[in-house]
Structure 1
Amino acid sequence: MSATEKYRALIDMAHQHGVSGFSASEADGVLTLSGSTTEGVKQKLLDAWQIIDPSLSAGDLVFAITDDGGGQAYTVKSGDTLSKIAAQHGTTWQKIYEHNRDTIENPDLIYPGQVIRIP
């Protein structure tokens, strides 16, 4: 089994969560994953890697996905809540609120069209 096949779920998860600039390339049996994303999504990917390779010692994966630091811009849609947005992005509503205190006065009141940052 190739490393790409072995880590297919991890690759699919990176695509599903919209890792920015994501790439997966295999050479000499070693798969390199790179890109940038939020801290929460990065942690989800690391957790998934540990499920596939519990000791993280197979040596067939280079995990070069970085935390984008400033966060990702997100435009609030009708029906959104901070909790719902957080669940979609692998973080907590509290982290989103803290990261956006300059634009969100009340965490229970966000509005369609409002642009927030996902840490």
Structure 2
Amino acid sequence: MGLFSFMKNAGEKLFGGSESAEEKSKKVQDHLAKYNFDLSGVKLSVEDDAVTVSGEAKNIDEKQRILATVGNVEGVSSVKDNLTLKEALKIEIPDISKTMYTVKSGDSLSKIAKEVYGDANSYNKIFEANKPMLSDPNKIYPGQVLYIPQG
């Protein structure tokens, strides 16, 4: 559980500006659905520029991918994580917030992989973990938040 910050003006544009909180929640839910996440136990609520994600996620990978995908919507500045897991963790993760990485100017997946794994050639782990949000390993942008799976 936690609160993750995102760049409000970065990400996929879903909102037109005049939607109600319920309409925004529906748009974010529809956005998540196109990535084929198991959303059967997931609920969303939007208040201003904050999204609360609650319920049950399938596993830790899907949970982190859902949080990153929600945060990478233009107009969302924070995501409150109230998700629990259907599948128990197989490993202990000391700080779940370290599994998110905000892309900076000049970053590449190889550079990020070198920083987090010590091996630039491990970039594909990050790419695969963020599909289908990422369609090309060479197309990331500053402010985008990526899920970093455990090495």
TM band (smaller chain) = 0.3 to 0.5
Larger radius of gyration: 1
Structure number with the higher strand fraction is 1
Query: Taking structure 1 as the reference length, what is the TM-score of the superposition?
Result: 0.40
Query: Taking structure 2 as the reference length, what is the TM-score of the superposition?
Result: 0.32
